Structure 1
Amino acid sequence: MKQVTRWLLGVILLGLAYAQGAKDTVYVSFKDDISTLDPAIGYDWQNWSIIKSIFDGLLDYEPGTTKLRPHLAEKYSLSADGRTYTFVLRKGIRFHNGRMLTAQDIKYSLERTLNPSTQSPGQSFYLGIAGAKAFAEGKAKEVSGIQVVNAETVRITLEKPDASFLHKLALNFAYAVPREEVERWGKDFGKHPVGTGAFRLKEWILGQRVVLERNPNYFIPGRPRVKQIVFVIGLDPNVAYLRFQRGEIDLLGDGIPPARFNEVMSNPKLRALVAIGDQLNTVFVALNTQVKPLNDLRVRQALNMAIDKEKIVRIINNRAIPAVQILPPLMPGYAKDYMGYPYDPAKAKKLLAEAGYPDGFSTVLFANNTDPNPRIAQSIQQDLANIGVRVELKTLAQSTVIQAAGTPGQAPMVWSGGMAWIADYPDPNNFYWPILSCAAAVPGGWNWAWYCNKKLELRAQELDAMVRPEQQAQRVAGYRDLFLEIMKDAPWIPIFHEKRYTIRSARLGGPDSIYVDPIHIPVNYEEVYIK
C-alpha cells in the first residue's frame, strides 16, 4: 500500500510540475525543422520571427506596426548631406553569454553579412555603404563606411542618400552577433545562436523540438512575457490541429490546415480564436514585356481585364482581397482611390482585336505545382480562353519556375503564387528595385516581367534621395504616382493580397496584431502572453 501511495504521489507531483510549466510555456507546432537561427542567413517565414526573438538590431518596429523606433540604439542622427548616420548604443546591453555589447559588434556583424564567405542573402541590402563593394570584392580588409567612434558609438556613411536605409538596418541581416561565438561555432552558429534578444536558446534537438527561454537580462522591462517557448517539430499540420483541439498546442506554426479552414471559420468558438491580419504582399501574374505578343501594351491591358479575381480568391477560401495595384494596402504609397483595370472580358476582346489578334493567340503560363497553385493556374487558363487566348500550363517545382522566369524569353507568363513578393521591409522602394526596375531585369533576377522604364528608374533614385523627415510625405506620394504609372504599362496582373490567418489557444492573450505581426512574420513572440 505504501508503494502504491508513493507511486500515486509521484504521478500527482509530475502532473503538477507539468501544469505549472505549461502556465509559463507556449507550445508552437511545425511540420519541418527550422533551417537556421543565424540572423545573417535566415530568410524564410519559419525562422524569421524566431530569429527576431533571439537577436536585436539598431532599430526595430513598434509591435504590430510598420513604424520604426530605436532599439539597440538609444538615439541616432543624420548628417546635413543625408549620407552619414551616427548611432549611440543603449548602455548595459549584454549578449546571452554575458559580454557587454559594443559598437565594434555592430561593425563586425554588418561586415560579416557583407563578407561573401558568409553567403548571406541579405548582402545586397548593405552594398550602398561606402566601401562595402570593395570589401565584398576582397579589395579592402574592412568597410570604410562603418566607423567605430567609441565603445558606444558607430557611424555609418553611405555612397549616396537612401531613404530606406533605416529599414534595412532593422532587417535581421544587420542584427548584432558576438564575434567570439561565431568563431567558436563556425558554420554551426545557426544551431547555437547567441544574441541580445528577449529569448535565448535553451535546447535544440533536431527533428523534435527547439526550446527558447526568457533572457533574464533583456533590456526592455517586462519583456518577454512568457518563461518559455517550445517549438514542437515534426507534426503534420492536421495532427497539430488535433493536438491544438486537445489543448497541447497553443499556436499552429504552419497555419490552419486548408482542409480544416471552413470548419474553423464556421465554428463560433474556434472563429473567436482566429487572428487575421494584412501582409505586405501581392500575388500576381508577371507578363513578359519582351515576348510577343505581350510586348504590346494593348495585349497586356486586355489580359488584365480578362481575369476574374473574385473567383480566384474563392479558391483559397477567401483568405485574401482582390488586388488592383502593385503595392499592398499596408504599404505607404498604396493608392486607396485607384480602381485598377475592371473585369471586362468584352473590352478585353476589343483591345485584342485592336492589337491585331481578333482570334486571340497562344502562350504559356508557368506556375508552382504546390496546391492550390495548379487550380488557380487552371482558373486563369479558363478566363483567358474566354477571350480567345489559348494558354499552355507548365506547373513545375518552385525552383524550376523561378529559373525559367529569370531566363530571357523563356517564360511569357508567370503565376507568382507560392513565390509571391512579400516586402523585406515596409518601404515602397522594396516593391520597385528588386522586381520592377531596369536593374532587376537581368538573368537570374526577380523582374519576371522584364520591365524597364528608365524615366521611372531615375525618378525612383530621386525619391530615395529624399531622406529628411519633412520630405517623407512627398516621397510616399511620389512612389504612389510611380506605381500608378507602372500600372499604365501593365507589366503585371495583380491578383490578390493574401491575409494571414493564425489560430491561437484560448489561454493566450493580446490583440490579433501580436499573432499576425506584419514585420515579425508571423508572430511577435516577445509580446505573446498567457492570460
Structure 2
Amino acid sequence: MWGQPARSSCYTGWGSPLRCTGRKTRAGGRVIPRPSEPLPSFLRALFLLSFLFSCSQESTNSQTIHFALASKLGSFDPLKSVTTGNQVLQRQCYEGLLQYDSLSSNYELVGALADTWEISEDQQTWLISLRPDATFFDPASNPIWGNGKRAVQASDVLASWLRLADAREGAAAWFVLEGLIEGLDAFRLATSRGEDEAKTAWAEALDGGIEGLRVIDSHQLAIRLTRPEPTFAYRLASPYLLVYPREALSRSGLQFSHHPVGSGAFYLKEWEPGFRAFFAPVPGSDHSAPPRVHLEFLWVPEGSTRTMMFQNGELDRLSPLQDAFTSLIENGQPNSELKKQGVKLRITEMLDLTMLQFNMSDPVVGHLPGDSDGNRKRSLLRKALALAFPYEQWHQIVRSGSWAKPATRWLPPGLPESNAIQDIPWRRSDLAQAKKLLAEAGWPEGKGLPPLRLELGGTDPTSRDLGAMLSASWKRIGVQLDSVAQDYGDLVRKMNSGQAQISTRAWTLDWPDAGNLLDIFYGEFAAPGINKSRFHDSQYDQALQAFKSTKNPNERIALAKKMLARLNALAPAIPIDHRQSYLLTQPWLEIPTLNPFDPLPCASFRLKEVAR
C-alpha cells in the first residue's frame, strides 16, 4: 500500500504543444499577429524582437513567467500527448491520478486527482479515492456548466481511459494500458468492429465500467490489472492518462484540441494556434499556484533568438544548445557575465536514447518477411552505416562536446539492466570494417546501392548541418545520402505512415523502467504507435512480454540480454548518445527540483523580487 498522497498542484486550460525554454516580461495577455506565409529566419527573428519590444511597454498587475518553445504550438487533446511540447502545455491544464513530488529528486509520487489509494496483496487491484475538491473549470464565454465548474468524478477517469482505448481514435499512447487492465482490450476490439458495435461497447462501459475498471461511486474507482505491474503507479503519473470531462469533446462551436477543459491550477486564457498560449490561474483555485502568476508560451524556432532573449533577461530559463552552449557555459559553470547576474546552472542526467533509426519496412534498408537473403544483406548494410557514423563529429557539433554521453549500449546508465549488458559490437567508428561489411552485403564501395534518404526534423542550420555531416561521412564508404529538411510535424507524419527511410529520434523514458525504452521496438506498437522503426521480431516480442510480467531482478536482466541480442543482430537503429539536461535559470526564478519525467510543473515555480 502506498499510503496517503499529497495533493497535486499544477494545471491549465487552453494551449498547445511544443518543446521548451522560458522567459519573463511584465506584459500580460497579448496576441501575436500570425504571418500568412512562413518567414525567412532573420525576418522571423526581427518580427519577434519587434513584438517583444512593443510588449515590454505594457504594464499589468500580474507577474508572468514566459517560455520559448522550439516547436510550433499544437494540440490540447490528451490523445495527442506523445510529443514533449504537447506534454508540457497539457501539463499546465490537466491532471492525472498521480504526479511526481516537485520537492523530491527520487521520482517519488504523490496524489494529483487521487486523494488516497490502496493496493491489494497480489498487486493487481487498486482502489482509488478522488480528491473531494477536484474541479473542472471551463473558461469559455458560454461554459458547459452554468458557473463554469464541475466536480471531477470517477466516471471522468473511466471515460478518459476508454477514449484512449477506442481503436477509432488511433491513440499512439495506447501502449500505456494495452494488455494491462482486465476487459479494456476487449473494449478496444469492439470499437474496431464498426460504429454500431462501438456505440454498444461505449454504452455498456459507461454504465458502471468494464471488468477491470469499475466506478464504485462518484469519487471511488476500482482497477483490476491483468498482472502485477511494477510501473503502474508511474503510468498513472504519466502525461498519457490525463483526465477531462466528456462533455468538452462534443459541445458545438469549440474544438476540444484548442479549448481544453481541465482541473488544473491554470486555464488557457488566450490562444494563437501554433504561436502563443497564455495561461492564468483558475479563479478561486486552492491549488498551490502562486497568486497572480501567469504563464506565456511562445514559439521561437531559432536557438540564437532564444539565447539572445535569455541574455537580455526576457527568458526565465534556457536549455543552451550548440554554439550557445560554448558561449554561455565555461568549465561546467555559467560564464562570468551570467555569474555576475546571478544566473544558475542545473545539470540533470536524462534517461533517454538518441538514435538514427531505419524504417524496417523499407525495401532498401529494412527487414522484409520471407526475404532471408535480402534481410541478411540489409542487416550488414545497417551495421556498415553504423560503423561509418561520425560519432565524434556529432558529439562536437550537435552536443557541443559536452552535454551527452556516448550510447555504447541500448539502455541508458542508471537502469539496473544497463549495468549487466555488453556494449554493442558494431557501435563504433571503423571505416575498414564498414567497407568490408558493405562489400559482403553485395555493394562494394556502394556500387549498385540506391541513394539513401535521411528525413530531417527541422529546417534550421543545425538540422541541415546534420544532413551534410552524415552525407559526407557515409560518402567515405561509397554510400550516397540525400537529406530532406522539413518541420518536425512533417517528419512525424512520414514516420507514422512508413515514408521515412532513415531519421533521427530521441526517446526519453516516460518512467524509470527499462521496459519503457524496450517498448519502442515492440512489434505490436509499430507506427503510428511508438515503434517508429516498424521493427518486428517474434523472439524480441516474446522476451519483452515475459520481461513485463516478472519482478525478479535476475529474470529481468536475463530477458533484457535476450532482447538486446536481437537488436544487436538485426540493427533496427544506431544508438548515438544519452543526453544530459543543462538548464540556465534567471536569479528571480525558483524551481524546486528538475525531474526528467515531469519537465515543467509550473505551479511549483516561484518568482522572487530581485534587482534587475
1:438 aligns with 2:523: yes
Hey, what does 2:298 align to over in structure 1?
233
Q: In the alignment, residue 598 of structure 2 is paired with which amino acid?
A: H
- Separation in structure 2 between the aligned mates of residue 456 and residue 194 of structure 1, nearest angstrom: 41
Tell me if structure 1 keeps the 8 A contact 2:547–2:560: no
Tell me if structure 1 keeps the 8 A contact 2:386–2:574: yes
Give the alignment of 1:270-285 within 5 angstroms: 270=338, 272-285=343-356
- % identity of equivalent residues: 23
- Separation in structure 2 between the aligned mates of residue 296 and residue 31 of structure 1, nearest angstrom: 35
Secondary structure class of the residue paired with 2:215: strand
- Separation in structure 2 between the aligned mates of residue 192 and residue 445 of structure 1, nearest angstrom: 25
Residues 326 and 377 of structure 1: CA distance in aligned 2, closer, same or farther (over 3 Å):
farther
2:467 corresponds to which of 372, 377, 383: 377
Hey, what does 2:584 align to over in structure 1?
503
Hey, what does 1:211 align to over in structure 2?
279
- Separation in structure 2 between the aligned mates of residue 48 and residue 405 of structure 1, nearest angstrom: 20
Secondary structure class of the residue paired with 1:481: helix
CA offsets 1:397-446 (integer angstroms, 9 cap, x no match): 356655666677x76x6131xx433334443223233x3223345x7566
Residue 322 of structure 1, CA deviation:
2.0
Give the alignment of 1:414-425 within 5 angstroms: 414-416=502-504, 419-425=505-511
Q: What 5-or-longer segments of structure 2 have no aligned partner?
A: 1-55, 138-147, 193-197, 359-364, 369-373
- Separation in structure 2 between the aligned mates of residue 354 and residue 241 of structure 1, nearest angstrom: 48
- Separation in structure 1 between the aligned mates of residue 262 and residue 536 of structure 2, nearest angstrom: 41
1:494 corresponds to which of 548, 569, 575: 575
Give the alignment of 1:111-510 within 5 angstroms: 111-115=162-166, 120-128=171-179, 129=181, 130=183, 131-134=186-189, 136-137=191-192, 138=198, 139-140=200-201, 141=203, 142=205, 144=210, 145-159=212-226, 162-184=229-251, 187-204=254-271, 207=275, 209-213=277-281, 217-218=285-286, 223-225=288-290, 227-233=292-298, 237=302, 238-252=304-318, 255-256=319-320, 258=322, 260-266=324-330, 267-270=335-338, 272-287=343-358, 288-290=365-367, 292=374, 295=377, 297-316=379-398, 317-318=400-401, 319-329=403-413, 333-335=417-419, 338-341=422-425, 342-352=428-438, 359=445, 361=447, 362=449, 364-368=452-456, 370-371=459-460, 372-386=462-476, 388-397=477-486, 414-416=502-504, 419-433=505-519, 435-440=520-525, 447=531, 449-466=533-550, 471=551, 473-474=553-554, 476-478=556-558, 480-489=560-569, 490-510=571-591
Hey, what does 1:12 align to over in structure 2?
none
1:520 aligns with 2:598: yes
Residues 126 and 98 of structure 1: CA distance in aligned 2, closer, same or farther (over 3 Å):
same
CA offsets 1:114-163 (integer angstroms, 9 cap, x no match): 34676654345334331431453305122513211123321123455555
Tell me if structure 1 keeps the 8 A contact 2:540–2:563: no
Q: Give the TM-score, by structure 2 length.
A: 0.69
Q: Give the TM-score, by structure 1 length.
A: 0.78
CA offsets 1:259-308 (integer angstroms, 9 cap, x no match): 54433225334375343433343222234442747646555444433323
Residue 179 of structure 1, CA deviation:
3.9
Residue 462 of structure 1, CA deviation:
1.4
Residue 91 of structure 1, CA deviation:
3.7
1:109 corresponds to which of 140, 143, 160: 160
- Separation in structure 2 between the aligned mates of residue 36 and residue 448 of structure 1, nearest angstrom: 21
Q: In the alignment, residue 518 of structure 2 is paired with which amino acid?
A: Y
- Separation in structure 1 between the aligned mates of residue 470 and residue 70 of structure 2, nearest angstrom: 31
- Separation in structure 2 between the aligned mates of residue 19 and residue 330 of structure 1, nearest angstrom: 46
Secondary structure class of the residue paired with 1:526: helix
- Separation in structure 1 between the aligned mates of residue 111 and residue 552 of structure 2, nearest angstrom: 18
Q: In the alignment, residue 27 of structure 1 is paired with which amino acid?
A: H
Residue 228 of structure 1, CA deviation:
1.4
Residue 395 of structure 1, CA deviation:
2.1
- Separation in structure 2 between the aligned mates of residue 109 and residue 476 of structure 1, nearest angstrom: 32
Residues 171 and 218 of structure 1: CA distance in aligned 2, closer, same or farther (over 3 Å):
farther
Secondary structure class of the residue paired with 1:390: coil
Hey, what does 2:38 align to over in structure 1?
none
CA RMSD across the alignment: 3.8
Tell me if structure 1 keeps the 8 A contact 2:268–2:277: no
- Separation in structure 2 between the aligned mates of residue 308 and residue 336 of structure 1, nearest angstrom: 27
Residues 485 and 232 of structure 1: CA distance in aligned 2, closer, same or farther (over 3 Å):
closer
- Separation in structure 2 between the aligned mates of residue 407 and residue 68 of structure 1, nearest angstrom: 36
